[in-house]
Amino acid sequence: MNFKKVLACVLAGTMVFSMGAVMTAGAASEEDNKLTVWTWDPNFNIYAINKAAEIYAQDHEGFTVEVTEIQSDDIESKITTAVNAGDLSTLPDIFLMQDNSFQKYTTFYPDVFTDLTESGIDFSQFSEAKVAYSTLEGVNYGVPFDNGAVVNCVRTDLLEQAGFTVDDFTDITWSDYMEKAKVVLEKTGLPLLTAQAGSPDMIMMMLQSCGASLFNEDGTGNIAGNEVLKQCVNNYAQMVADGTLVEVTDWDQYISSLNSSTVVSTFNGCWIMASIQAAEDQSGKWAITNMPRLDDVENASNYSNNGGSSWAICSNCQHVDLAVDFLNSTFAGSTALYDDVISKGALATWAPAGESDAYNVPVDFYGGDTVYAKIVDFATKTPSNATGAFYYDARDAVGVALSNITQTGADVDAELEAAQETLDFSMGV
């Protein structure tokens, strides 16, 4: 009797369910050809995904993407909220994620991601270091997108006033760099660098330039007694004290310092070029070179990385095959796409794109230099370093130490010790 009841319920349920399936399949052929995407920056990522959709739609009639502009940290908060609410239906089919966040989210929320290891995407065509960001325990969760190779953007006209050329800032060491910064300040009255106060971006770039990081290979924190880190922090603090590095309150002021000729140079991930190029009246006055390397550190180089991101397919995606095929035939298979988005400074990490002619085009904004080929070259020379799920906790702790050191003159060793304790506290749950 009971068994029959259960069986009846199951059968009825199945019928309702399959009816629903038939109805949705019939009514939503348009829906079947549409993917929802979350990403940020209209001039960069949003432009790229729309371009990719345009290219994909040439062979797949009626294909569209519905892009929502959401800042990267908001995407992350929304994912966290959705998972904790146990309802992934609010998430899009595809979202972009910062490379530095990938380990954190794949570790703590693996259920959000679709496993792409066996999806048919050829990950060997991407640079190994880049794929590593979105790989956890041998499983691929992301399709690599742009590169964050560090470029040192300098104002050649302002350097000239100080008696320098861009060559004087190429392949140099930090001690040399800091001395020249003082000359620039003296001659032009302008700082060589601006930075967002409390943000340890510059420290992180300096660390990676010698393959060092805030973590040991076994994943434990490496802040207290980290001699390379100490040198980075000291250099930064010294430049602030010299007046050659001016700290500004927020990101907007940092960007406006670049566009308003109140700073002579900046080094950052190559995506910064999109913001620099926004000041069209400064065309021809900028040049690109590599960043300074740390003195007397083993493996020190003039190359580093900051930022960059990868596409992920949400586990809630209803059209996984379509999403995989879309990414596979565009971001992992279209030189036409990368040739187009290079104009925005979106540099491919997909090897076949780097061989394209588009990378050898001279760019007038940077005095006719073939800057893209240069950046590809920088990218291949960038050392990789250990990160992990606790990247942002470590970064935050170092940021606090850095503020205390530059603004209150606190003792470097003691502050790094405190930062290590903060990180250990976060990790020791």
* Closest to other proteins by CB, 141 or 350: 141
**Residues comprising the chain, all counted:** 429
Q: How far is CA 119 from CA 33, 122, 142, 332, in A?
A: 19, 9, 11, 12
| Cα–Cα distance measured from residue 17 to residue 10, given in angstroms and rounded to the nearest whole number | 10
| Cα–Cα distance measured from residue 49 to residue 84, given in angstroms and rounded to the nearest whole number | 28
Cβ distance 174 to 290 under 8 Å? no
Take residue 338 and report the two structure tokens written for it. 């990368």
* Closest to other proteins by CB, 325 or 393: 393
* Closest to other proteins by CB, 282 or 403: 403
* Closest to other proteins by CB, 183 or 410: 410
What are the φ/ψ torsions at residue 2 (nearest 5 degrees)? -60, -40
Looking from the CA of 400 toward its CB, the CA atoms found within 13 Å total: 16
CB of 79 to other proteins, least distance (A): 10
Q: How many helices (H) and strands (E) does the chain have?
A: 17, 12
The CA R_g of the chain, rounded to the nearest whole Å, is 24
CB of 296 to other proteins, least distance (A): 30
CB of 70 to other proteins, least distance (A): 14
Residues found near other proteins in the complex (CB under 8 A): 73, 76-77, 80, 83-84, 104, 107-109, 111, 197-198, 247-250, 253, 389-390, 392-393, 396, 399-401, 403-404, 407-408, 421-422, 425-427, 429
Give the DSSP per-residue string, 354-409. Answer: HTSGGGG--BGGGTTB-HHHHHHHHHHHPPP----TTHHHHHHHHHHHHHHHHHH-
CB of 111 to other proteins, least distance (A): 7
Cβ distance 282 to 129 under 8 Å? no
CB of 402 to other proteins, least distance (A): 8
Cβ-based neighbours of 128, under 8 Å, separated by 6 or more = none
* Closest to other proteins by CB, 323 or 423: 423
Looking from the CA of 206 toward its CB, the CA atoms found within 13 Å total: 21
* Closest to other proteins by CB, 79 or 166: 79
What are the φ/ψ torsions at residue 211 (nearest 5 degrees)? 70, 10
CB of 385 to other proteins, least distance (A): 19
Cβ distance 223 to 398 under 8 Å? yes
Residue 314 — left, alpha, or beta (φ > 0 → left; ψ -120 to 50 → alpha)? Answer: beta
CB of 167 to other proteins, least distance (A): 33
Q: Which amino acid is at 427?
A: M
With the C-alpha atoms ordered 273, 279, 280, 285, is the resulting torsion angle positive or negative? negative
Q: How far is CA 275 from CA 248, 250, 278, 364, in A?
A: 17, 15, 5, 16
CB of 40 to other proteins, least distance (A): 16
